[in-house]
Amino acid sequence: MAKPRVVILGGGFGGLAAAEALGQSADVTVVDRNNYQTFLPLLYQVSTAGMAADNVAFPIRGALRKSHTKFRLGSPIAVDHKNKTVKLDSSEVLPFDYLVVAMGSVTADFGIPGVAENTLGMKSIHESITIRSEVMRRFEDLCRFEDKTRLKIVVVGGGPTGVEMSGALAELVRGPLKNDNQEAAKLIDVYLVEAGPRLLPMFAETLTTRTKKYLEKIGVNVLLNTAVSSVESGRINFASGEAIDSQIIIWAAGVKGSPAVADLSLPIVASRLDTQPTLQVTDYPYVFAVGDDAGAKGANGRFLPQVAPVAMQQGRFAAKQILRLAKGESLGEFKYVDKGSMATVGRNKAIIQVKGIKIYGPIAWFGWLTLHLFYLLGARNKFGTMVDWSWNYLTFDRGNRNIFDSF
């Protein structure tokens, strides 16, 4: 029997997990618009000068070497469902028996005016380097002009990304920037803005209360129940009528399925693919949806969260389903195994919640470090990151404060 031909659209957590699980059992081609996987959970550290940009990227061809899987650089622009082919922007046409859609997500602006134009996103290495450069350049402006105009950096979104970003920014300001120029560093304010009544709603309230206290202790101004109504250049407006004149507004308020999925001629519901419990796209049994684009639902009847563990479990699950389909076997239903949540808040401080267990402090922080190092692809990236983190920890410094003008 010929091996089934599988095209995987997207080389992120979901796509690479599927490729690895399929391995030599299928004729696999991974397609991605980048030649590297981006380790999204650590982009905030690139932004805040804690990590080198190259260490959160891993060449996809390197990741696929073991399984001898093919790779194509490009983006899909159309799927011919009759002939089962996908056309790439390179004009190459790839035939497939099964298609895995794992194209990830983009920043969601919830229809709030001015977000796309006037805020910085956190979804790519390019964006993370833009934030770093923007922060460091404004800091240099403060050093230069000494006119006491304050630099207000606003992070929008009280989820893990916003909490980690605002905490890391506050540490950057309190530590390295203060050592660089104390007067200028004193002129920087960091805000964390959340529309809901508390930070990190996926965690127990005891943990989020401590998180908020710690963020405030290191200098983050946490604003709860503060919905954004619009963003202008240099100004963020709230539903209450209040506003902050802010030169750097970072949008970490949420994500939505990639709009590029719309080019695939597949049914979409609420910016995700209409997905069966088997992870097959409704009416397209040869197409599987994985990760942030998948409309699979959890036990509570709601969409699963758009996080790496869901994507990786779904990638492996979709791979197994494809091999079962190819053999004519019946399919199972995807069940997400929630292994708990974690977020880092600052030096020696993180929170972990696994079922009933709640941990706050150095042990959680060490657990966070270990897990992220473990999931970072490649020994080079792991060791390089250990160097960066050891340096940051031992010296209270951040060595990557370089302004690279765009990536």
Would you tell me how many other CB atoms lie within 10 Å of the CB of residue 32?
24
- Calpha distance 141→378 (Å, rounded): 38
**164 catalytic per annotation:** yes
Shortest Cβ distance from residue 356 to its own copies (Å)? 39
* Count of residues making up the chain: 407
Written as six digits, the tokens of 302 are 């709601």
Distance CA(152)–CA(189), nearest Å, equals 5
* Active-site hit among 92, 127, 134, 164: 164
User: Per CB under 8 A, does 388 bind its own copies?
Assistant: yes
Out of 13, 39, 44, 71, the only residue in the binding site for its own copies (CB under 8 A) is 71
Surface-to-core class of residue 1, CB atoms within 10 Å of its CB (0-12 exposed, 13-18 middle, 19+ buried):
exposed
SS3 67: coil
- When the beta carbons of 66 and 217 are compared against its own copies, the nearer one is 66
Q: Which of 3, 23, 34, 224 binds its own copies (CB under 8 A)?
A: 34
| Interface positions, 41-60, toward its own copies (CB under 8 A) | 52-55, 57-59
Q: Is 265 exposed, middle or buried (0-12, 13-18, 19+ CB in 10 A)?
A: exposed
**Residue 182 interacts with its own copies (CB under 8 A)?**
no
Task: Find where tokens 């590029």 sit.
Answer: 260
370 contributes a contact to its own copies by CB under 8 A: no
d(CA 134, CA 139): 8
Minimum CB–partner distance for residue 183 and its own copies (Å): 12
**Considering the rule CB under 8 A, would residue 65 count as an interface residue with its own copies?**
yes
Q: What is the smallest separation between the CB atom of 397 and its own copies, expressed in angstroms? A: 7
Among 22, 136, 264, 350, binds its own copies (CB under 8 A): 136
Using CB under 8 A, which of 5, 25, 35, 361 touches its own copies? Answer: 35
Q: Judged by CB, which is closer to its own copies: 367, or 399? A: 399
Closest listed residue to residue 150, CA positions, set 259, 248, 52, 76: 248
Q: How far apart are CA 383 and CA 400, in angstroms?
A: 16
Dihedral angle at the C-alpha atoms of 96, 99, 100, 104, nearest 10 degrees? 100
The reply on whether position 78 binds its own copies by CB under 8 A is no
Q: Is 402 a residue that touches its own copies (CB under 8 A)?
A: yes
Closest CA to 407 of 38, 114, 3, 23: 38
Selected binder of its own copies within 89, 126, 196, 339 (CB under 8 A):
126
Contacts with its own copies by CB under 8 A lie at: 34-36, 52-55, 57-59, 61-62, 65, 71-74, 90, 92, 125-126, 129, 136-137, 140, 143-145, 179-181, 378-381, 383-384, 387-388, 390-391, 397, 399-407
